[in-house]
Amino acid sequence: MAKANEISHSMKFNLQSSLYYLINGPSTIFASLRCLENDYQTIADEKLTTDRQIEWEDLRYGLADNRFTRFSLETPGPLMIQYESVADIYPQLLNKSDVEDDGVRSIHSESMPYLFPSRYAPSDRLRAVAIDQFGGIKGKLNQALAVEQWIWERITYQHGSSDEKSSAIDTLENRKGVCRDFAHLGIAFCRALTIPARYVTVYSCLLDPQDFHAVFEVLVGGRWYLIDATRKAPLNGMVRIAMGRDASDAAVATLFGNIQGNGINVSTLISNEETTPFQPLYRQDLEENNQVISTI
């Protein structure tokens, strides 16, 4: 496995998000607010609150062992769910030339599902296009970065240009989308090139306007590398909430029953306790130095 650069360093963020709903009858929310806990990030001082007393249960499920909360609701009326925590992240900076590509033979078994097509990243349908477009590029990491650049150059970020049913096929056709669509197209292309790729929902520092964000990661030579084809936020300022094959695995909230969303509010700020000044690393910055960021 490639060795991370010495200049990699941790960063501390204050996270806050509020979800607003209007409950009309018995309903259930699966919400993914609590952040993942792993080598890449540690989470402290978590606080989950609601503006009225409701029943909930913390769960973990899926390939990435995401932390979900299931809220069971009965009484009609508005509801606010609020989450707060402090996260330390440890992005690993690597030189592209140090990344080894050892192919499908050495993929760890737990990463294999990320090779297969999923609802919003139907990689089997993109194989011919992916091979035509990127097949000639040498090295899996270079292919993934070429995918990122292709998307960034050709897909227009436009609110309202897609909906929750949009897949990578639609994004490729319409050449428009939001972060979710940029990630799905990147994932689909990478899997079509036999690169395991997963969807990641994140709290994202310096994203303007502040919101949840969606990016993706590719597995090359035993490490996962973070990619954001929207280039709207620094890659070293993202705290991972949930991961999965695509948005169906890692949606911030899935609603069942008689309930509707009523807005969200998200804030991802550098902690006051942080002593190191934050030096945002966007794709362009990394490209200049032939670097990539690994989440381990």
Q: Which residues are at the interface with a copy of itself (CB under 8 A)? A: 28, 30, 59-63, 68, 70, 72, 103-105, 109-110, 112-113, 116-119, 122, 124-126, 128-129, 132, 154, 164-165, 169, 172-176, 194, 248-249, 254, 256-257
Query: Measured at the alpha carbon of residue 33, what is the angle toward residues 242 and 15, in degrees to the nearest 5?
Result: 105
Taking the least distance from each CB to a copy of itself, the nearer of 22 and 63 is 63
Q: At closest approach, how far in Å is the CB of 290 from a copy of itself?
A: 28
Taking the least distance from each CB to a copy of itself, the nearer of 8 and 174 is 174
Q: Is 202:216 a contact under the CB 8 Å cutoff?
A: no
Taking the least distance from each CB to a copy of itself, the nearer of 52 and 154 is 154
Question: Between 179-192 and 140-154, two packed helices, what is the crossing angle to 10 degrees?
Answer: 140
Taking the least distance from each CB to a copy of itself, the nearer of 95 and 248 is 248
Q: At closest approach, how far in Å is the CB of 119 from a copy of itself?
A: 4
Q: At closest approach, how far in Å is the CB of 200 from a copy of itself?
A: 17
CA 32, distance to chain mean position in Å, is 12
Element (H, E) at 292: strand 291-294
Q: At closest approach, how far in Å is the CB of 193 from a copy of itself?
A: 11
Q: Is 68:24 a contact under the CB 8 Å cutoff?
A: no
Q: At closest approach, how far in Å is the CB of 66 from a copy of itself?
A: 10
Taking the least distance from each CB to a copy of itself, the nearer of 157 and 278 is 157
Taking the least distance from each CB to a copy of itself, the nearer of 90 and 120 is 120
Q: At closest approach, how far in Å is the CB of 217 from a copy of itself?
A: 18
Own/partner contacts of 137-143, CB < 8 Å, gap of 24 or more, are 139/101, 140/101, 140/103, 140/193, 140/194, 140/195, 140/218, 140/220, 140/221, 141/96, 141/99, 141/101, 141/218, 141/220, 141/221, 141/225, 141/292, 142/96, 143/190, 143/193, 143/195
- Tell me which residue of 212, 215, 196 sits closest to 204, measured CA to CA: 212
